[in-house]
Amino acid sequence: MVAGIRLLLRALPLLLCCCLDAQSAQRQDPELSLEAEAFLEKYGYLDEQASKAPASTRFSNAIREFQWVSQLPISGVLDQATLRQMTRPRCGVADTDSHATWAERTGALFARQQAKMRRKKRFAKQGNKWYKQHLSYRLVNWPEHLPESAVRGAVRAAFQLWSNVSGLEFWEAPATSPADIRLTFFQGDHNDGLGNAFDGPGGALAHAFLPRRGEAHFDLEERWSLSRRRGRNLFVVLAHEIGHTLGLTHSPAPRALMAPYYKRLGRDALLSWDDVLAVQSLYGKPLGRSVAAQLPGKLFTDFEAWNPHNSQSRRPETKGPKYCHSSFDAITMDGQSRLYIFKGSQFWEVTADGNVSEPHPIQKRWAGLPPNIEAAAVSLEDGDFYFFKGSRCWRFWGNKPVWGFSQLCRAGGLPRHPDAALFFPPLRHLVLFKGARYYVLARSGLQVEPYYPRSLRDWAGVPEEVSGALPRPDGSIIFFRDDHYWRLDQTKLRVTSSGRWATELPWMGCWYANSGGALF
C-alpha cells in the first residue's frame, strides 16, 4: 500500500454517525448478533486487538465495511438484508485487505474510509505475487461423481481465463514433478484450523492461499456440477480460487469474479474489468499478443472439449475405498504386515494380500484420539501404536492407552504437525518427518535424540512434506505424497524407484478401484 494513499484514507471522516447505529444494533436478537459477530470475525472485519473503540462501535463499523464490500446500503445496522447476505454461499478466504487493495487499484477516488482490517496470518499479506510468469499446477483429486476429463478440462479453462488477460502462462505439471499450484478437495477439518474446516453444502465453498504457497482447497461435500443450472458450478469456483493463488484479494466491484460471493454463469464475461485490472497490476498484459476476447459465462459448460489430448468418455463408476481416489492423512503397518490407512475420521485395514476392510471410525478403536490424526506409526519393537496431531501425541497398546492420555510432545522437541511418522527398522526407532527435516525419537517416543532434526537430504530422493512412510517386509521404505510413492533402499539410503501407489502397489488395497479404470 502506498503510504500517501493510506494517509489520505485515514484523514477522511466516517460518513455516518456511529452512536445512532450502535443503538439500533443493540435492538437485534442477541443470538443473531453473536452469529453475525462470528461471521465478521472469520472474514476479517472484526479485530479484537487492533482497536480501542467500544465493542458496539467496532461492531457497527465492521457491518458498515461488510455492507460496502457486499454492495448493500451502508447503514452499520444488522438488518435483514445484511443477515441474509451472511448466509449466502461464498469463498472461505477473509475479505481482509480487499477494500485497501481495491482502493489502491482504482485510486483513492472511491475510498470512503480506511479499511482498518487486520491482515490475517493465514492468507498472507496483499502484494504477494509469484516472481515468475510460467506456473505449473496439479489437480490432486476431485469429486468422484464428476467425470475426470470434464474436471480436467474445467481446470484448464479456469487457468486459461487468467492467462488470456495477463502475462501469465500455465502448464499442468507431470505427475512426478512438484507443482507451483495444487488444487485439492477436502472434507471438513483438513488442518487449516478449525475455523476453516469445510461445512458441507452451502456456506464456505472453497478457500486458497495467496502466493507463494500455491494451494487451493475445495469442499468435497459441496454439490459440485459442471452444468449451468444444477448444483454449484465448479468451474466458477475454480477460477475464483485460482485468482487467490495468483495473489488477488476479494473485489467489491459489481459482477467481479473475485467478489467474495458465488457467481452464476451468465451472459456477461466471467472476468470483470476489475479482475482484469487486478491480475494485470501484478503480472502485466499478455506478452506479444493482444488480450483475447472474453467468452460469455454461459458458454463454459462443455469441458470435454477443452482437453483434446485426453478426451476419453466418462470413466466407469469407481469403486473401492475412498482413500484410493485422493490421498490419506496417515499410514502405518503392524508386525503382521497389516496396513492401517487413516483419512478424516475413519481408517481402513488392509491385509498383506491387499484385502481391504470397511472404513471404521478412528475414535471407536482408539478412544481418546482426536477426530482425525496427522501421523501414525507402529513400533515393530513392541507393537505399540503412536499417533500424532498438532503438538500432541498418543501411544496405545492394542486399544489401551499406554500414557493414560495424550502427551504434549512439543516439550520433548518433537515438531508440531508432523507430516508423517515411520518406524525405521535399521535404527529400531521412530522417525518423524516435517517439511525438509526428519527427527529420530528416543525409545520413550517422547524425546528427540541428540543431533536431530537433520535435513532430508540424508535420504536421497525423498520429497519434502510426505504424507506417509512405511517399512516394507522386503526391507524397503515407501514414502507417499499425494498420488505418488517413492521406494527407498534402506541400505543405500537412496530412492531407487517411484510411481503411483494406487495403481502400482497392489498391497495398498486399491485393486477394485484399479479394475474400474484410471484413478488419478
**Which amino acids are annotated catalytic?**
241
Q: Give whichever of 137 and 394 is closer to ligand NAG, judged by the CB atom.
A: 137
**What is the nearest approach in angstroms of ligand NAG to the Cβ of residue 295?**
5
Site for ligand NAG contains 292 (CB under 6 A): yes
Among 38, 295, 411, 427, binds ligand NAG (CB under 6 A): 295
User: What residue spans of 169-295 are helical by DSSP H?
Assistant: 234-246, 273-283
Query: Judged by CB under 6 A, which stretch of 28-36, 93-101, 351-359, 437-445 contacts ligand NAG?
Result: 351-359
Give dist(CA 226, CA 231) in Å, integer: 8
Q: Specify the residue, 157 or 378, whose C-beta has the smaller distance to ligand NAG.
A: 157
Give the contacts of 294 (CB within 8 A, at least 6 positions apart). 164, 165, 269, 270, 271
* Amino acid in position 488: L
Helices (H) and strands (E) in the chain, counts: 12, 24
Exactly one of 302, 353, 381, 464 binds ligand NAG (CB under 6 A); that residue is 353
For 35, phi then psi, to 5°, come to -60, -45
Place of cell 520433548: 412
* 272 scored as a contact of ligand NAG (CB under 6 A): no
Q: How far is the CB of 289 from ligand NAG (least distance, A)?
A: 9
Geometric angle at alpha carbon 49, from 47 and 52, rounded to 5°? 100
Nearest-approach distance from CB 349 to ligand NAG, in angstroms: 10
In the list 136, 351, 363, 447, the residue contacting ligand NAG (rule: CB under 6 A) is 351
Q: Which of 265, 11, 253, 248 is nearest to 130 (CA)?
A: 248
CB atoms within 10 A of CB 165: 21
The answer to whether residues 44 and 207 touch, using CB atoms and an 8 Å cutoff, is no
Q: Total number of residues binding ligand NAG (CB under 6 A)?
A: 11
Neighbours of 111 (CB within 10 A): 18
Binding mask 40-79 for ligand NAG (x = CB under 6 A): ----------------------------------------
Residues 6 or more apart whose CB falls under 8 angstroms from that of 433 comprise 375, 418, 419, 420, 421, 422, 439, 456, 466, 469
| Shortest CB 425 distance to ligand NAG, Å | 26
Which lies closer to ligand NAG via its Cβ, residue 92 or residue 320?
320
> 422: which strand partners?
431
* 484 has binding-site annotation: no
Q: Please indicate if the annotation marks 192 as binding a ligand.
A: yes
Tell me which residue has its CB nearest to ligand NAG: 292
Cβ proximity to ligand NAG: between 287 and 292 the closer is 292
- Does 91 appear as a known binding residue? yes
329 labeled part of a ligand binding site: yes
193, 42 contact by CB (below 8 A): no
Helix H or strand E encompassing 479? strand 476-481
Q: Which residues contact 285 (CB under 8 A, 6 or more apart)?
A: 165, 166, 167, 291
508 binds ligand NAG (CB under 6 A): no
Minimum distance of ligand NAG from residue 286's CB (angstroms): 9
Closest CB to ligand NAG among residues 186, 235: 235
Q: Phi and psi (nearest 5°) for 296? A: -65, 145
Cβ–Cβ under 8 Å, residues 219 and 186: yes
Q: Which stretch binds ligand NAG (CB under 6 A): 226-234, 277-285, 327-335, 350-358?
A: 350-358
Q: Is 244 a known ligand-binding residue?
A: yes
Segment near ligand NAG (CB under 6 A); pick from 60-68, 333-341, 347-355, 475-483: 347-355
- The footprint of ligand NAG on residues 147-176 (CB under 6 A) is 157, 160-161, 164
Are 201 and 223 contacting, i.e. CB atoms less than 8 angstroms apart? yes
| Closer by beta carbon to ligand NAG, 349 or else 465 | 349
Please report whether residue 355 would count as binding ligand NAG according to CB under 6 A: yes
Residue 339 binds ligand NAG (CB under 6 A): no
Residue 301 lies near ligand NAG (rule: CB under 6 A) = no
| Residue 123: closest CA among 199, 222, 193 | 193
Closer to ligand NAG by CB, 109 or 293: give it. 293
Which residues are near ligand NAG by CB under 6 A?
157, 160-161, 164, 292-295, 351, 353, 355
- Binding site as annotated, residues for Ca(2+): 180, 199-200, 219, 222, 329, 331, 376, 421
- Please give the annotated binding residues for Zn(2+), written as ranges: 91, 190, 192, 207, 217, 240, 244, 250, 258
